[in-house]
Structure 1
Amino acid sequence: MSWKRDIKRYVNDNSKNLFNVDGNSTLIFWNNFHSNKPGIYTEGLFLKEVKILFDKIEAILAYNPCPIKLKEYSFNFSKYGYIENFRGIGFSYFKETFTTFKEKKDSYKAAILVYALTKYSHATIEKFYEVYGKMFETQNPNDYNIVNLFETMKMTMIEQMQNIIDVFIIKTEKIELSPKAENYIIEEIIDIGDDFTLHWARMFREILVLANESMSFDQEFDFIANKKRNINWNDIEEDNFDEFFEKTKTMVISSEYDEALKYFNLTRQSEYDEFKKVYRKIAKAIHPDVNKGNPDFDIEMKKVNYYKSIIEKYMT
Protein backbone atom coordinates (compact mmCIF):
# COMPACT_ATOMS: atom_id res chain seq x y z
CA MET A 1 0.00 0.00 0.00
CA SER A 2 1.21 3.50 -0.81
CA TRP A 3 0.70 4.80 2.72
CA LYS A 4 3.42 2.45 3.96
CA ARG A 5 5.87 3.86 1.43
CA ASP A 6 4.83 7.40 2.31
CA ILE A 7 5.29 6.77 6.03
CA LYS A 8 8.76 5.29 5.54
CA ARG A 9 9.74 8.30 3.43
CA TYR A 10 8.27 10.68 6.03
CA VAL A 11 10.08 8.97 8.91
CA ASN A 12 13.39 9.14 7.05
CA ASP A 13 12.98 12.79 6.01
CA ASN A 14 11.94 14.05 9.42
CA SER A 15 14.24 12.08 11.68
CA LYS A 16 17.56 12.06 9.83
CA ASN A 17 18.74 15.36 11.31
CA LEU A 18 17.57 14.87 14.89
CA PHE A 19 20.63 12.86 15.87
CA ASN A 20 23.20 14.08 13.34
CA VAL A 21 25.83 16.82 13.43
CA ASP A 22 27.86 17.56 10.30
CA GLY A 23 27.00 14.12 8.96
CA ASN A 24 27.99 12.34 12.19
CA SER A 25 25.25 10.29 13.79
CA THR A 26 25.06 10.26 17.59
CA LEU A 27 22.76 7.24 17.59
CA ILE A 28 23.99 4.10 19.33
CA PHE A 29 23.51 0.70 17.69
CA TRP A 30 22.82 -1.50 20.69
CA ASN A 31 23.71 -5.19 20.59
CA ASN A 32 21.23 -7.09 22.70
CA PHE A 33 22.53 -9.80 25.00
CA HIS A 34 20.82 -13.11 24.43
CA SER A 35 21.35 -16.82 24.25
CA ASN A 36 19.12 -19.73 23.40
CA LYS A 37 21.04 -22.00 25.74
CA PRO A 38 19.22 -22.52 29.06
CA GLY A 39 21.04 -22.46 32.37
CA ILE A 40 24.22 -20.69 31.20
CA TYR A 41 23.66 -17.32 32.86
CA THR A 42 26.01 -17.75 35.76
CA GLU A 43 27.60 -15.02 37.83
CA GLY A 44 30.97 -16.05 36.40
CA LEU A 45 29.69 -15.54 32.86
CA PHE A 46 28.53 -12.02 33.66
CA LEU A 47 31.83 -11.07 35.25
CA LYS A 48 33.71 -12.56 32.30
CA GLU A 49 31.64 -10.46 29.89
CA VAL A 50 32.25 -7.40 32.08
CA LYS A 51 36.01 -8.01 31.93
CA ILE A 52 35.85 -8.14 28.13
CA LEU A 53 34.05 -4.78 28.08
CA PHE A 54 36.54 -3.31 30.57
CA ASP A 55 39.38 -4.24 28.22
CA LYS A 56 37.57 -2.67 25.26
CA ILE A 57 36.96 0.56 27.15
CA GLU A 58 40.55 0.67 28.38
CA ALA A 59 41.72 0.33 24.77
CA ILE A 60 39.48 3.23 23.70
CA LEU A 61 40.68 5.46 26.53
CA ALA A 62 44.34 4.60 25.92
CA TYR A 63 44.27 6.10 22.42
CA ASN A 64 41.90 9.02 22.96
CA PRO A 65 42.24 12.35 24.80
CA CYS A 66 40.62 13.35 28.06
CA PRO A 67 40.68 16.64 30.00
CA ILE A 68 43.04 16.59 32.98
CA LYS A 69 40.12 17.31 35.29
CA LEU A 70 38.42 14.06 34.33
CA LYS A 71 41.40 11.71 34.56
CA GLU A 72 40.14 10.51 37.92
CA TYR A 73 37.18 11.61 40.03
CA SER A 74 34.48 10.27 42.34
CA PHE A 75 30.71 10.58 42.30
CA ASN A 76 28.50 10.25 45.35
CA PHE A 77 25.53 8.02 44.66
CA SER A 78 23.98 9.31 47.87
CA LYS A 79 20.61 7.82 46.98
CA TYR A 80 22.09 4.35 47.29
CA GLY A 81 24.66 5.12 49.99
CA TYR A 82 28.04 4.77 48.27
CA ILE A 83 30.72 6.64 46.32
CA GLU A 84 32.01 5.31 43.00
CA ASN A 85 35.27 6.12 41.19
CA PHE A 86 35.24 7.19 37.55
CA ARG A 87 37.47 8.19 34.64
CA GLY A 88 36.66 10.20 31.54
CA ILE A 89 32.99 10.67 30.66
CA GLY A 90 31.84 7.67 32.66
CA PHE A 91 34.17 4.69 32.90
CA SER A 92 34.24 2.80 36.18
CA TYR A 93 35.07 -0.68 37.40
CA PHE A 94 31.92 -0.35 39.56
CA LYS A 95 33.63 -1.98 42.52
CA GLU A 96 31.61 -0.04 45.08
CA THR A 97 28.43 -0.64 43.11
CA PHE A 98 29.02 -4.39 43.20
CA THR A 99 29.84 -4.36 46.92
CA THR A 100 26.80 -2.24 47.79
CA PHE A 101 24.27 -4.26 45.82
CA LYS A 102 25.81 -7.54 46.88
CA GLU A 103 24.79 -6.52 50.38
CA LYS A 104 21.43 -5.06 49.36
CA LYS A 105 20.50 -7.90 46.99
CA ASP A 106 23.00 -10.71 46.42
CA SER A 107 26.17 -11.26 44.39
CA TYR A 108 24.27 -12.69 41.41
CA LYS A 109 22.04 -9.64 41.05
CA ALA A 110 24.97 -7.32 41.73
CA ALA A 111 26.89 -8.95 38.86
CA ILE A 112 23.92 -8.42 36.53
CA LEU A 113 23.74 -4.73 37.52
CA VAL A 114 27.46 -4.20 36.96
CA TYR A 115 27.14 -5.88 33.58
CA ALA A 116 24.21 -3.59 32.64
CA LEU A 117 26.11 -0.47 33.71
CA THR A 118 29.32 -1.53 31.99
CA LYS A 119 27.49 -2.36 28.79
CA TYR A 120 25.89 1.09 28.79
CA SER A 121 29.25 2.69 29.60
CA HIS A 122 30.99 0.90 26.74
CA ALA A 123 28.29 1.76 24.18
CA THR A 124 28.26 5.46 25.05
CA ILE A 125 32.04 5.86 25.37
CA GLU A 126 32.58 4.11 22.04
CA LYS A 127 30.07 6.38 20.29
CA PHE A 128 31.41 9.48 22.02
CA TYR A 129 34.95 8.97 20.74
CA GLU A 130 33.78 7.86 17.31
CA VAL A 131 32.15 11.26 16.79
CA TYR A 132 34.66 13.26 18.84
CA GLY A 133 37.55 11.93 16.75
CA LYS A 134 35.91 13.13 13.55
CA MET A 135 34.98 16.59 14.80
CA PHE A 136 37.63 17.62 17.34
CA GLU A 137 40.67 15.40 16.71
CA THR A 138 43.10 18.33 16.55
CA GLN A 139 41.67 20.28 19.48
CA ASN A 140 43.28 20.62 22.89
CA PRO A 141 41.22 18.45 25.27
CA ASN A 142 41.69 21.09 27.99
CA ASP A 143 40.18 23.83 25.84
CA TYR A 144 37.25 25.53 27.57
CA ASN A 145 34.69 24.31 25.01
CA ILE A 146 36.03 20.75 24.92
CA VAL A 147 35.95 20.49 28.71
CA ASN A 148 32.33 21.65 28.62
CA LEU A 149 31.62 18.90 26.11
CA PHE A 150 33.22 16.21 28.28
CA GLU A 151 31.63 17.49 31.48
CA THR A 152 28.15 17.60 29.96
CA MET A 153 28.36 14.05 28.67
CA LYS A 154 29.84 12.89 31.99
CA MET A 155 26.86 14.24 33.90
CA THR A 156 24.44 12.87 31.30
CA MET A 157 25.98 9.40 31.62
CA ILE A 158 25.95 9.42 35.41
CA GLU A 159 22.32 10.57 35.48
CA GLN A 160 21.42 7.76 33.11
CA MET A 161 23.35 5.26 35.24
CA GLN A 162 21.24 6.30 38.19
CA ASN A 163 18.14 5.69 36.06
CA ILE A 164 19.47 2.24 35.16
CA ILE A 165 19.98 1.45 38.84
CA ASP A 166 16.45 2.68 39.65
CA VAL A 167 14.94 0.43 36.98
CA PHE A 168 17.12 -2.47 38.13
CA ILE A 169 15.88 -2.07 41.72
CA ILE A 170 12.24 -2.04 40.59
CA LYS A 171 12.63 -5.02 38.27
CA THR A 172 14.45 -7.17 40.84
CA GLU A 173 12.41 -6.18 43.89
CA LYS A 174 10.03 -9.12 43.74
CA ILE A 175 11.90 -11.44 41.39
CA GLU A 176 14.24 -14.23 42.38
CA LEU A 177 17.08 -14.28 39.89
CA SER A 178 19.40 -17.23 39.50
CA PRO A 179 21.04 -19.21 36.67
CA LYS A 180 17.77 -21.16 36.50
CA ALA A 181 15.64 -18.07 35.93
CA GLU A 182 13.98 -17.37 32.60
CA ASN A 183 16.62 -16.07 30.22
CA TYR A 184 14.49 -13.27 28.83
CA ILE A 185 14.09 -11.68 32.28
CA ILE A 186 17.85 -11.54 32.80
CA GLU A 187 18.43 -10.33 29.24
CA GLU A 188 15.89 -7.55 29.73
CA ILE A 189 17.72 -6.33 32.84
CA ILE A 190 21.15 -6.51 31.21
CA ASP A 191 19.88 -4.37 28.32
CA ILE A 192 18.18 -1.72 30.47
CA GLY A 193 20.71 0.79 29.17
CA ASP A 194 19.28 0.61 25.66
CA ASP A 195 16.21 2.52 26.87
CA PHE A 196 18.39 5.52 27.74
CA THR A 197 20.59 5.76 24.66
CA LEU A 198 18.28 8.02 22.67
CA HIS A 199 18.22 10.75 25.31
CA TRP A 200 22.01 10.41 25.57
CA ALA A 201 22.27 10.76 21.78
CA ARG A 202 20.03 13.84 21.83
CA MET A 203 22.09 15.46 24.59
CA PHE A 204 25.29 14.59 22.73
CA ARG A 205 24.00 16.18 19.54
CA GLU A 206 23.02 19.36 21.38
CA ILE A 207 26.34 19.84 23.15
CA LEU A 208 28.26 19.03 19.94
CA VAL A 209 26.37 21.80 18.16
CA LEU A 210 27.05 24.24 21.02
CA ALA A 211 30.74 23.33 21.16
CA ASN A 212 31.15 23.55 17.40
CA GLU A 213 29.43 26.94 17.20
CA SER A 214 31.43 28.29 20.14
CA MET A 215 34.75 27.14 18.70
CA SER A 216 33.89 28.57 15.28
CA PHE A 217 33.11 31.88 16.97
CA ASP A 218 36.41 31.70 18.87
CA GLN A 219 38.36 31.10 15.68
CA GLU A 220 36.73 34.08 14.00
CA PHE A 221 37.50 36.39 16.92
CA ASP A 222 41.02 35.52 18.06
CA PHE A 223 41.02 37.76 21.11
CA ILE A 224 38.05 35.87 22.57
CA ALA A 225 39.65 32.56 21.67
CA ASN A 226 42.89 33.47 23.43
CA LYS A 227 41.01 34.68 26.47
CA LYS A 228 39.03 31.45 26.76
CA ARG A 229 42.01 29.20 26.20
CA ASN A 230 43.78 30.87 29.08
CA ILE A 231 40.94 30.15 31.45
CA ASN A 232 41.78 27.49 34.02
CA TRP A 233 38.73 25.24 34.19
CA ASN A 234 39.52 24.45 37.81
CA ASP A 235 39.05 28.14 38.65
CA ILE A 236 35.47 28.10 37.43
CA GLU A 237 32.94 27.59 40.21
CA GLU A 238 31.21 24.22 40.11
CA ASP A 239 27.81 25.91 40.38
CA ASN A 240 28.44 27.65 37.06
CA PHE A 241 28.78 24.35 35.24
CA ASP A 242 25.81 22.87 37.10
CA GLU A 243 23.73 25.79 35.85
CA PHE A 244 25.07 25.33 32.32
CA PHE A 245 24.28 21.61 32.41
CA GLU A 246 20.75 22.13 33.74
CA LYS A 247 20.03 24.75 31.09
CA THR A 248 21.31 22.45 28.36
CA LYS A 249 19.27 19.53 29.67
CA THR A 250 16.15 21.68 30.00
CA MET A 251 16.62 22.90 26.44
CA VAL A 252 16.88 19.32 25.19
CA ILE A 253 13.89 18.08 27.17
CA SER A 254 11.69 20.99 26.06
CA SER A 255 12.62 20.43 22.43
CA GLU A 256 12.04 16.67 22.59
CA TYR A 257 8.27 17.17 22.74
CA ASP A 258 8.32 19.37 19.64
CA GLU A 259 10.55 16.81 17.93
CA ALA A 260 8.13 14.02 18.88
CA LEU A 261 5.21 15.99 17.46
CA LYS A 262 7.13 16.62 14.26
CA TYR A 263 8.11 12.96 14.03
CA PHE A 264 4.43 11.95 14.04
CA ASN A 265 3.36 14.96 11.93
CA LEU A 266 1.26 16.35 14.79
CA THR A 267 0.82 19.77 16.38
CA ARG A 268 0.32 20.94 19.96
CA GLN A 269 -3.40 21.09 19.20
CA SER A 270 -3.55 17.42 18.14
CA GLU A 271 -5.64 15.03 20.21
CA TYR A 272 -4.26 11.84 21.73
CA ASP A 273 -6.58 9.68 19.60
CA GLU A 274 -5.05 11.24 16.50
CA PHE A 275 -1.58 10.32 17.76
CA LYS A 276 -2.63 6.70 18.37
CA LYS A 277 -3.78 6.32 14.77
CA VAL A 278 -0.55 7.73 13.36
CA TYR A 279 1.55 5.68 15.77
CA ARG A 280 -0.12 2.41 14.78
CA LYS A 281 0.45 3.10 11.09
CA ILE A 282 4.10 4.01 11.50
CA ALA A 283 4.84 1.16 13.90
CA LYS A 284 3.22 -1.33 11.53
CA ALA A 285 5.16 -0.02 8.52
CA ILE A 286 8.62 0.00 10.09
CA HIS A 287 8.39 -2.87 12.58
CA PRO A 288 11.60 -4.96 12.43
CA ASP A 289 9.55 -8.16 11.96
CA VAL A 290 8.25 -6.69 8.69
CA ASN A 291 11.70 -5.47 7.66
CA LYS A 292 13.93 -8.34 8.73
CA GLY A 293 17.62 -8.03 8.01
CA ASN A 294 17.59 -4.22 7.95
CA PRO A 295 19.13 -2.76 11.15
CA ASP A 296 17.93 0.72 10.20
CA PHE A 297 14.40 -0.30 11.06
CA ASP A 298 15.50 -1.50 14.50
CA ILE A 299 16.73 2.04 15.16
CA GLU A 300 13.58 3.57 13.71
CA MET A 301 11.39 1.36 15.89
CA LYS A 302 13.37 2.46 18.93
CA LYS A 303 12.85 6.08 17.92
CA VAL A 304 9.12 5.51 17.45
CA ASN A 305 8.81 4.07 20.95
CA TYR A 306 11.04 6.81 22.38
CA TYR A 307 8.89 9.58 20.93
CA LYS A 308 5.75 7.66 21.85
CA SER A 309 6.78 7.77 25.51
CA ILE A 310 7.30 11.55 25.24
CA ILE A 311 3.92 12.12 23.59
CA GLU A 312 2.17 9.99 26.21
CA LYS A 313 3.90 11.95 28.98
CA TYR A 314 2.58 15.29 27.71
CA MET A 315 -0.75 14.31 26.15
CA THR A 316 -2.14 11.94 28.79
Structure 2
Amino acid sequence: MLGFLFPGQGTVRVGMGAWLRRKPVAAEVFAQADELFGQPISPLCAKGPLERLVATEHAQRAVTVCNLAALAVLRADGHEPGLVAGHSVGELSALYAAGVLDLAGTLRLVEIRSRLMAEVGVTGGMSAVMGLAVEEVEALVAEAATADEPLVVGLENAPGHVVVSGALPAIERLGKLASDARKIVPLQVSNAFHSPLMAPAVPGWREVVRAAPMAPPRVPVVPNVTAEPTVDLDVIREALIIQLTERVRWTETALRTTTTTLCVEVGDSKVLAGLSRGVGARCLSMSDPGTPRRLAQERGA
Protein backbone atom coordinates (compact mmCIF):
# COMPACT_ATOMS: atom_id res chain seq x y z
CA MET A 1 0.00 0.00 0.00
CA LEU A 2 1.22 3.49 -0.89
CA GLY A 3 1.05 6.49 1.41
CA PHE A 4 0.97 9.94 -0.18
CA LEU A 5 2.31 12.88 1.87
CA PHE A 6 1.82 16.48 0.75
CA PRO A 7 4.18 19.28 1.91
CA GLY A 8 3.18 22.70 3.20
CA GLN A 9 4.14 26.31 2.65
CA GLY A 10 7.54 26.19 4.34
CA THR A 11 8.92 24.32 1.31
CA VAL A 12 8.60 27.08 -1.31
CA ARG A 13 11.60 28.20 -3.33
CA VAL A 14 12.21 30.02 -6.60
CA GLY A 15 12.21 27.50 -9.45
CA MET A 16 9.85 25.08 -7.74
CA GLY A 17 7.96 22.72 -10.04
CA ALA A 18 10.38 23.15 -12.95
CA TRP A 19 10.67 19.48 -13.94
CA LEU A 20 6.97 18.94 -13.36
CA ARG A 21 6.03 21.70 -15.81
CA ARG A 22 7.81 19.73 -18.53
CA LYS A 23 5.28 16.89 -18.09
CA PRO A 24 2.06 17.54 -20.06
CA VAL A 25 -0.27 16.23 -17.32
CA ALA A 26 1.44 18.42 -14.74
CA ALA A 27 1.62 21.44 -17.03
CA GLU A 28 -2.13 21.16 -17.45
CA VAL A 29 -2.57 21.44 -13.66
CA PHE A 30 -0.46 24.61 -13.62
CA ALA A 31 -2.53 26.01 -16.48
CA GLN A 32 -5.81 25.24 -14.71
CA ALA A 33 -4.54 26.77 -11.48
CA ASP A 34 -3.40 29.93 -13.28
CA GLU A 35 -6.88 30.25 -14.74
CA LEU A 36 -8.74 29.56 -11.48
CA PHE A 37 -6.59 31.71 -9.20
CA GLY A 38 -7.08 35.46 -9.17
CA GLN A 39 -3.62 35.88 -10.64
CA PRO A 40 -1.30 33.27 -12.24
CA ILE A 41 1.03 31.46 -9.84
CA SER A 42 3.26 29.67 -12.40
CA PRO A 43 5.50 32.70 -13.19
CA LEU A 44 6.06 33.30 -9.48
CA CYS A 45 7.04 29.64 -8.92
CA ALA A 46 9.44 29.79 -11.83
CA LYS A 47 11.12 33.17 -11.35
CA GLY A 48 10.13 34.65 -7.99
CA PRO A 49 11.10 37.06 -6.53
CA LEU A 50 11.56 35.06 -3.34
CA GLU A 51 10.26 37.77 -0.99
CA ARG A 52 6.95 37.72 -2.87
CA LEU A 53 6.82 33.94 -3.22
CA VAL A 54 7.19 33.32 0.53
CA ALA A 55 4.31 35.67 1.41
CA THR A 56 1.42 33.61 2.78
CA GLU A 57 -1.06 34.52 0.06
CA HIS A 58 1.38 33.29 -2.63
CA ALA A 59 3.25 30.48 -0.83
CA GLN A 60 0.16 28.41 -0.06
CA ARG A 61 -1.01 28.59 -3.67
CA ALA A 62 2.47 27.80 -5.02
CA VAL A 63 3.04 24.72 -2.91
CA THR A 64 -0.47 23.44 -3.63
CA VAL A 65 -0.16 23.67 -7.40
CA CYS A 66 3.17 21.80 -7.24
CA ASN A 67 1.58 19.15 -5.02
CA LEU A 68 -1.33 18.63 -7.40
CA ALA A 69 0.95 18.61 -10.44
CA ALA A 70 3.12 15.91 -8.85
CA LEU A 71 -0.03 13.95 -8.04
CA ALA A 72 -1.11 14.18 -11.69
CA VAL A 73 2.20 12.62 -12.77
CA LEU A 74 1.79 9.76 -10.32
CA ARG A 75 -1.80 9.14 -11.39
CA ALA A 76 -0.83 9.14 -15.05
CA ASP A 77 1.52 6.28 -14.21
CA GLY A 78 -1.28 4.39 -12.46
CA HIS A 79 -0.28 5.08 -8.83
CA GLU A 80 -3.02 5.72 -6.27
CA PRO A 81 -2.64 6.01 -2.49
CA GLY A 82 -4.05 3.80 0.22
CA LEU A 83 -3.48 6.51 2.87
CA VAL A 84 -2.99 10.29 2.61
CA ALA A 85 -1.81 13.13 4.83
CA GLY A 86 -0.66 16.69 4.27
CA HIS A 87 1.47 19.05 6.35
CA SER A 88 -0.47 22.23 7.24
CA VAL A 89 -1.90 23.64 3.97
CA GLY A 90 -0.78 20.36 2.36
CA GLU A 91 -3.80 18.78 4.04
CA LEU A 92 -5.98 20.31 1.33
CA SER A 93 -3.89 18.55 -1.31
CA ALA A 94 -4.36 15.32 0.62
CA LEU A 95 -8.13 15.81 0.61
CA TYR A 96 -8.04 16.23 -3.16
CA ALA A 97 -6.01 13.02 -3.51
CA ALA A 98 -8.58 11.20 -1.34
CA GLY A 99 -11.48 12.43 -3.48
CA VAL A 100 -12.93 14.68 -0.78
CA LEU A 101 -12.46 17.82 -2.91
CA ASP A 102 -12.34 18.38 -6.66
CA LEU A 103 -9.60 20.47 -8.27
CA ALA A 104 -11.55 23.73 -8.38
CA GLY A 105 -12.76 23.27 -4.80
CA THR A 106 -9.23 22.59 -3.57
CA LEU A 107 -7.76 25.66 -5.25
CA ARG A 108 -10.63 27.83 -4.04
CA LEU A 109 -10.12 26.75 -0.42
CA VAL A 110 -6.37 27.30 -0.66
CA GLU A 111 -6.88 30.78 -2.06
CA ILE A 112 -9.37 31.71 0.68
CA ARG A 113 -7.26 30.14 3.46
CA SER A 114 -4.15 32.03 2.37
CA ARG A 115 -6.04 35.31 2.09
CA LEU A 116 -7.68 34.99 5.51
CA MET A 117 -4.37 34.14 7.16
CA ALA A 118 -2.57 36.99 5.41
CA GLU A 119 -5.28 39.44 6.49
CA VAL A 120 -4.54 38.70 10.15
CA GLY A 121 -1.42 40.82 9.74
CA VAL A 122 2.00 40.13 11.20
CA THR A 123 1.42 39.25 14.85
CA GLY A 124 4.29 36.87 15.59
CA GLY A 125 6.70 34.30 14.24
CA MET A 126 7.93 30.73 14.45
CA SER A 127 11.23 29.10 15.43
CA ALA A 128 12.48 25.52 15.22
CA VAL A 129 13.91 24.14 18.46
CA MET A 130 16.35 21.35 17.68
CA GLY A 131 17.59 18.64 20.03
CA LEU A 132 14.88 18.72 22.68
CA ALA A 133 11.94 16.38 23.24
CA VAL A 134 8.50 17.90 22.75
CA GLU A 135 7.82 17.62 26.49
CA GLU A 136 10.89 19.72 27.23
CA VAL A 137 9.83 22.34 24.71
CA GLU A 138 6.32 22.42 26.18
CA ALA A 139 7.79 23.18 29.60
CA LEU A 140 9.87 26.03 28.16
CA VAL A 141 6.88 27.39 26.27
CA ALA A 142 4.83 27.46 29.47
CA GLU A 143 7.56 29.50 31.15
CA ALA A 144 8.11 31.91 28.25
CA ALA A 145 4.48 32.65 27.38
CA THR A 146 2.26 35.28 28.96
CA ALA A 147 -1.43 36.09 28.57
CA ASP A 148 -0.62 39.02 26.28
CA GLU A 149 2.28 37.31 24.49
CA PRO A 150 1.18 33.72 23.80
CA LEU A 151 3.52 30.96 22.69
CA VAL A 152 2.71 27.34 21.84
CA VAL A 153 4.19 24.30 20.19
CA GLY A 154 2.93 24.79 16.64
CA LEU A 155 4.54 21.83 14.90
CA GLU A 156 5.81 18.48 16.10
CA ASN A 157 7.83 17.71 12.99
CA ALA A 158 10.04 14.86 14.21
CA PRO A 159 11.76 13.68 17.40
CA GLY A 160 14.07 16.52 18.40
CA HIS A 161 12.55 18.89 15.82
CA VAL A 162 9.81 21.01 17.39
CA VAL A 163 8.56 24.37 16.12
CA VAL A 164 7.23 27.00 18.50
CA SER A 165 4.79 29.64 17.31
CA GLY A 166 3.61 32.86 18.89
CA ALA A 167 4.55 36.38 19.92
CA LEU A 168 8.12 37.39 19.07
CA PRO A 169 9.02 38.56 22.62
CA ALA A 170 7.93 35.17 23.97
CA ILE A 171 10.07 33.39 21.36
CA GLU A 172 13.01 35.56 22.44
CA ARG A 173 12.44 34.61 26.09
CA LEU A 174 12.30 30.93 25.15
CA GLY A 175 15.62 31.28 23.36
CA LYS A 176 17.25 32.48 26.56
CA LEU A 177 15.68 29.66 28.56
CA ALA A 178 16.48 26.82 26.16
CA SER A 179 20.13 26.38 27.11
CA ASP A 180 20.02 22.62 26.38
CA ALA A 181 18.72 23.00 22.83
CA ARG A 182 21.17 22.09 20.08
CA LYS A 183 20.06 25.16 18.15
CA ILE A 184 17.07 27.44 17.66
CA VAL A 185 16.36 28.56 14.12
CA PRO A 186 13.89 31.34 13.23
CA LEU A 187 11.70 30.22 10.34
CA GLN A 188 11.27 32.36 7.23
CA VAL A 189 7.50 32.62 7.59
CA SER A 190 5.28 35.67 7.73
CA ASN A 191 3.36 34.92 10.93
CA ALA A 192 2.69 32.69 13.94
CA PHE A 193 0.82 29.88 12.20
CA HIS A 194 -0.86 27.10 14.20
CA SER A 195 -1.08 29.32 17.25
CA PRO A 196 -3.79 31.34 19.02
CA LEU A 197 -2.63 34.40 17.08
CA MET A 198 -4.39 32.94 14.01
CA ALA A 199 -7.76 33.06 15.78
CA PRO A 200 -9.04 36.09 13.81
CA ALA A 201 -8.97 33.98 10.64
CA VAL A 202 -11.01 31.11 12.09
CA PRO A 203 -14.62 32.45 11.84
CA GLY A 204 -14.35 33.17 8.13
CA TRP A 205 -12.52 29.90 7.50
CA ARG A 206 -15.11 27.92 9.46
CA GLU A 207 -17.93 29.38 7.39
CA VAL A 208 -16.20 28.58 4.10
CA VAL A 209 -15.18 25.03 5.06
CA ARG A 210 -18.61 24.10 6.39
CA ALA A 211 -20.21 25.31 3.14
CA ALA A 212 -17.68 23.67 0.82
CA PRO A 213 -18.90 20.64 -1.19
CA MET A 214 -17.06 17.55 0.06
CA ALA A 215 -17.40 13.84 -0.68
CA PRO A 216 -16.57 10.93 1.64
CA PRO A 217 -12.89 10.00 1.21
CA ARG A 218 -12.00 7.02 -0.95
CA VAL A 219 -9.03 6.25 1.34
CA PRO A 220 -8.22 7.11 4.97
CA VAL A 221 -7.01 10.65 5.68
CA VAL A 222 -4.72 11.48 8.62
CA PRO A 223 -5.60 15.02 9.81
CA ASN A 224 -2.83 17.12 11.37
CA VAL A 225 -4.65 17.81 14.60
CA THR A 226 -5.60 14.20 15.41
CA ALA A 227 -2.87 12.14 13.68
CA GLU A 228 -5.46 9.37 13.44
CA PRO A 229 -6.56 7.86 10.10
CA THR A 230 -10.24 8.48 9.41
CA VAL A 231 -12.87 8.28 6.68
CA ASP A 232 -15.38 10.27 8.74
CA LEU A 233 -16.15 13.41 6.73
CA ASP A 234 -17.39 15.31 9.79
CA VAL A 235 -14.08 14.66 11.58
CA ILE A 236 -12.10 15.68 8.49
CA ARG A 237 -14.05 18.91 8.08
CA GLU A 238 -13.73 19.95 11.74
CA ALA A 239 -10.03 19.08 11.81
CA LEU A 240 -9.47 21.28 8.77
CA ILE A 241 -11.14 24.20 10.53
CA ILE A 242 -9.29 24.05 13.84
CA GLN A 243 -5.97 23.33 12.16
CA LEU A 244 -5.36 27.10 11.80
CA THR A 245 -4.77 27.50 15.53
CA GLU A 246 -3.95 23.94 16.61
CA ARG A 247 -0.75 21.89 16.62
CA VAL A 248 0.43 19.93 13.58
CA ARG A 249 1.19 16.47 15.00
CA TRP A 250 3.46 15.39 12.18
CA THR A 251 5.65 13.00 14.19
CA GLU A 252 2.61 10.85 14.95
CA THR A 253 1.30 11.32 11.41
CA ALA A 254 4.59 10.12 9.92
CA LEU A 255 4.48 7.09 12.20
CA ARG A 256 1.16 6.15 10.61
CA THR A 257 2.94 5.85 7.26
CA THR A 258 5.11 3.04 8.64
CA THR A 259 2.01 0.88 8.17
CA THR A 260 2.29 1.42 4.40
CA THR A 261 4.70 -0.47 2.16
CA LEU A 262 6.11 2.79 0.86
CA CYS A 263 5.28 6.49 1.01
CA VAL A 264 5.87 9.30 -1.45
CA GLU A 265 6.23 13.00 -0.76
CA VAL A 266 3.96 14.38 -3.47
CA GLY A 267 5.24 17.86 -4.31
CA ASP A 268 8.52 19.59 -5.09
CA SER A 269 10.09 19.07 -1.67
CA LYS A 270 12.20 16.55 0.24
CA VAL A 271 11.28 17.79 3.70
CA LEU A 272 8.56 15.27 4.57
CA ALA A 273 10.51 12.39 3.06
CA GLY A 274 13.37 13.18 5.43
CA LEU A 275 11.07 13.52 8.43
CA SER A 276 9.35 10.23 7.58
CA ARG A 277 12.61 8.35 7.25
CA GLY A 278 13.49 9.68 10.69
CA VAL A 279 10.68 7.61 12.20
CA GLY A 280 11.41 4.51 10.14
CA ALA A 281 9.10 4.97 7.15
CA ARG A 282 10.32 4.28 3.61
CA CYS A 283 9.68 7.46 1.66
CA LEU A 284 10.54 8.74 -1.81
CA SER A 285 10.20 12.36 -2.99
CA MET A 286 8.66 13.67 -6.19
CA SER A 287 11.20 16.50 -6.13
CA ASP A 288 13.46 13.91 -7.79
CA PRO A 289 12.50 13.37 -11.46
CA GLY A 290 13.66 9.76 -11.13
CA THR A 291 11.06 8.93 -8.50
CA PRO A 292 8.27 7.80 -10.90
CA ARG A 293 10.69 5.33 -12.49
CA ARG A 294 11.91 4.01 -9.14
CA LEU A 295 8.35 3.75 -7.89
CA ALA A 296 7.36 1.70 -10.93
CA GLN A 297 10.32 -0.61 -10.30
CA GLU A 298 9.44 -0.97 -6.61
CA ARG A 299 5.88 -1.91 -7.47
CA GLY A 300 6.81 -4.25 -10.29
CA ALA A 301 5.14 -2.18 -13.00
Report the TM-score, using the length of structure 2 for normalisation: 0.28
- Between Structure 1 and Structure 2, the one with more helix by share is 1
Report the TM-score, using the length of structure 1 for normalisation: 0.27
